Every structure is written in structure tokens, then in C-alpha cells.
Amino acid sequence: MKEATWSTAARYQPYSSWAPDYIMKLKAQVAASKWRTKTHVQPDTGLINDPCSLNFFNNKWHLYYQQFPFGPVHGLKSWAHAVSKDLFNWRRVPGDLLPDNEYDSHGAYTGSALVTHGTLRLMYTGNARDDQWHRHSTQLGAVLGADGRLFKDPKPLILTPPTGYTQEFRDPFLFNYEGQTYVLIGGQRPDHTGAILLYAKQTDKSWRFVAPLSIPDEFCGYMVECPNITFINGKVVLVYCPQGLDQDFFEYENVYPNIALVADSFDPTTGNLTHQRLQNIDKGFDFYATRLANTDDDGTLAISWLGLPDTTYPTDDDGWAGVLSYVRQLTLRDDHVCLYPHPAIKSLRETAVENLPVIQQHDDEWTVTNLEGAFELAFTLAAGQKTTIHLPDGDHDQLLIHLDSDSGQGMIQRENRNNGGSLRQFGFPAGETVEIRLFIDVSVFELFIDQGYRVVSGRFFGNEAPTAARITPPSAASDVASWNLKKDNGGL
């Protein structure tokens, strides 16, 4: 069933009404897709989009993310549940959050979670529609116990938006600050300006609206989705998705940006933020809905949807859409937000001799062969040099990356098989020797330059999974290394 044929009734019918025969055929269709990844979180069937929560609970990492399991479209959303020991080898387990009451009758939308009193406490947006198809947004709660059972709260946590805001009121992010629990919620005013709304939890467990964060309207577009906050080295970092941001004010190329705001201080009694500056945290084609996790031992973690709203992908014809990024650590370097893979990503490397890529230096290029579709490629780019990474696909390149360390300019080009464009340009520190790490996973790329100072992520869709790479000229690159990647649990 292609998107054009998906009626509203089909998208929002109860999960129990989907015929087993349809689901079996969909699974077979998805399994045959040549663009299935080997190491990324992806749907068994249908669509996944926003990551909702990432928490270490009961001796495991728990990941929740949005899904519509019945087709590659946005329909009646639920939360899928997966667990991992190392943040990279994920396994689906029971405990999905399903839309089954009057408040989430049209979808369990994005939210977050905190570990509290030996349980995982979830907060999410319930989406309901009336007979005129008007939206009613409610912030709801659920709890996951140590035994893996999930229970919803009987009553809403926040029934309606505060006065002066519309029903575009969603994506709660729970956080602790100075011994108090707060939540940020994306919002919109009647004049179609976006806002991030701050609530404080009271001793009676109710939520009190404090204020909108003091962010200028031009930083927020007409609606804010997926707000997050973290505190690093005495600074405040907000990560959020402002829809409709003026491109003359802030440069971005995707349909909606996913940006960071760095501030010097945060006042939880007023929502005031001082000395704010903006940054695009990923310059790739497909990157949205980042969810942060504030942890005790691993710093601030980040995971994102490598997809975009209002965008089609070739995998749609195969019955599935969407992947999540690798888990990254978010740090600040000179007030610049950096994203870099968590060190546990090394658990994906295949180390058996027979599975190692073959790396050779020739007069005119480095070649890397014996690649198996999912691999890591790393090298050092010398200062004042230009290099190009080629991923061949028959007689042409399915992915081409140009890097100029003298000017600090880069470009990535892919075959244009969807409506997200084929070219992205980006900057990175000029005149320096920089480390390059490129992760390829069949139809996904994640590029990290200078230990995450610049990140470029997205999808690409070649005729075949990549089995070789070339780096030209050979004099620009040194310390070339590569590993094939594989999950140890059969994948999702």
C-alpha cells in the first residue's frame, strides 16, 4: 500500500483490526528490501521516527521510539521498546506503549522518561481528535517496573496547554535540576510563534506551569518540537526542532532543522536564559527529533531520527521507513556542540582475521576492499590537504565526500533518489590536521570530523550495498583503518 492510497481511516484504525495475513506479507516485503541496515535501529515493519527516551534502568539501557508498524507512513503511533547492554546491540522486548484510551486514541506521541524510585517513569503526549478532526493534546504518564510490565497512569498529568497556547502542545522532556524535577514541552501561541514551555513538579506530584523559556521568537519558528536540555561545563545546552524557522535568519537546508542553543545560565523560577547562540548540530540530509539522555557515568547522550517529516524514501516501496542514529556523546568545545559516537561502538567491529577489510596504498589512491555493506572507515587528514572519499556503485559513486582541510570546507553528494536533495556543504576547523571517521551501514552514513566538531548524517540508496571504498589522493590521508560492523543479536 503506497502512501497515496493510505486513507485517514486506514492510518488510524485500531492495531487489533490489522489482519495477520497482511502483517505476514508486509514482513516478507520488508525482509526482501536491499536497503535494510545491519547495525542501526530500524522497524521490523512500517515506520519509525522520533526516539522518545534513553535510560539506564534495571542494569540495562532502555530505548523507546515512535512507530507505526503497519506501513511506511505516519499513522496511529505507539512507542516501541528495546534494550541493550552496550547502547549498540539492541533487542526488542515487551513493554510497548500502545494508544488505547480516550487521551491517546489517535497516537502516543513523543515524550521521555526518568528513573524514579526503582521504576522508569514515562511522560508522553496523548493525541486525540474530535469529530471535526480538531487536535486535543494531553500530557500522560506511564511506569515501567523492574519486572518489565508497563502501566499507564489513570489520569492525565497535564490536561490542557496553559492559557495563551494552542493544542500544538507536545514532546515532553523530563529532567532534574538542582534537586527539582522539571519538564519542557514544545508549544505554539495563537499567532503561530513557537515556544518551549517550562513546568515544575510539585510535592503533590502535580505540574505547575512556570513560563516559556526566554527564547526570541525568531529562534522558534511557528512551532517547536522535541525540546531537550542539558548542563555541561557550567553552560546550558538546549537541543530542539523549530519548524518554520526563517532561513534568512538561520541557514539550514532540510525541511526543518534540528539545532542547539547554548546559553550561559538558566533560571528555573522564570525560564530565563542568558547570552544565547544557535548552532546546526548535524549538516546532513536526514536528521531530526534528537533526544538527549543526561547520565551519571556517560555524560550527555544523544540519539536521533535519521529521517525527516514530509519526506519520502525509496524504502517506502518496500514497506518500511526510518532508522535511528548511533548513540552519540554530546560535549562542548569552546561553546561549540560536538557529537561523537559513544566508545562502546567498538563492540560492533568484527575482529576475526577473515572478516577484516583489505587496505592498500597505491600511487594514486588508497583502496579498502572486502567490505560487507556495514563498516567503519577512519583516517587522518593532514593540514592543507584535499581528499575525496568514493563509495563505488558499478560505474559511478553512490556516495562522494570532498574534504578540504586548508579552507575547512566539505561537500557530500549522493544519488538523488528521494525528495531530500543530493548535495550538502559544510564547514569544519580550517588549517588543521583532523580525524575523519565514517560509518556506513548499507543505506546509512554517519560522518564525524575532528572528533565530532562537524557531523554529517543521512541516507543514501545505491543499487548494491557498498563493498569497497577509495580515498584520493593517497598523500592526503594517513593512518587509514577500517572494520566491518555487525550486531551480535541478530538486529532489529
Residue 489 placed within a domain: no
475 three-class SS: helix
Distance CA 65, CA 337 (A): 24
Both 34 and 168 in one domain: the answer is yes
Residue type present at position 342 = H
For residue 328, the SS3 value is: strand
Please say if 50 is a catalytic residue: yes
Inter-residue contact 122 to 144 (CB < 8 Å): yes
The domain of 406 spans: 349-484
- The structural domain count of the chain equals 2
Structural domain includes residue 180: yes
Given 299, 321, 343, the domain boundary residue is 343
Pair 347, 89: CB distance under 8 Å: yes
Q: Which of 319, 343, 367 is the last residue before a domain boundary?
A: 343
**Whether residues 377 and 274 fall in one domain:** no
Query: Does some domain include residue 178?
Result: yes
Alpha helices in 228-381 (DSSP H): none
Whether 186 and 229 share a structural domain: yes
Q: Is residue 491 part of a domain?
A: no
Residue 177 lies in a domain: yes
Same domain (yes/no): 308, 189: yes
Q: Are residues 308 and 391 in the same domain?
A: no
Q: Does one domain contain both 179 and 291?
A: yes
Same domain, 295 and 413: no
The CATH number of the domain holding residue 8 is: 2.115.10.20
Shared-domain flag, residues 327 and 432? no
Domain boundary among 309, 343, 377: 343
Evaluate whether residue 490 is within a structural domain.
no
**Residue stretches of the chain with pLDDT short of 70:** 1-4, 489-492
Side-chain-side CA neighbours of residue 379 (13 Å): 25
pLDDT the model gives residue 2: 55
What grid cell was written down for 340? 561523537
Q: What angle do CA 264, 246, 173 make, to 5 degrees?
A: 50
Instruction: For residue 268, say if its preceding peptide bond is cis, omega within 30 degrees of 0.
Output: no
Same domain, 329 and 394: no
Residue 10 lies in a domain: yes
Q: Are residues 409 and 316 in the same domain?
A: no
Distance, in Å, from the CA atom of 34 to the CA atom of 461, rounded to the nearest integer, reads 9
Cell, residue 380? 587522518
Q: Which candidate in 50, 104, 171, 318 is catalytic?
A: 50
Q: What is the pLDDT of residue 417?
A: 79
CATH of the domain at 447: 2.60.120.560
* Phi (first) and psi of residue 388, to 5 degrees: -135, 130
36 occurs within a structural domain: yes
Same domain, 272 and 399: no
Instruction: Indicate if 13 and 95 belong to the same structural domain.
Output: yes
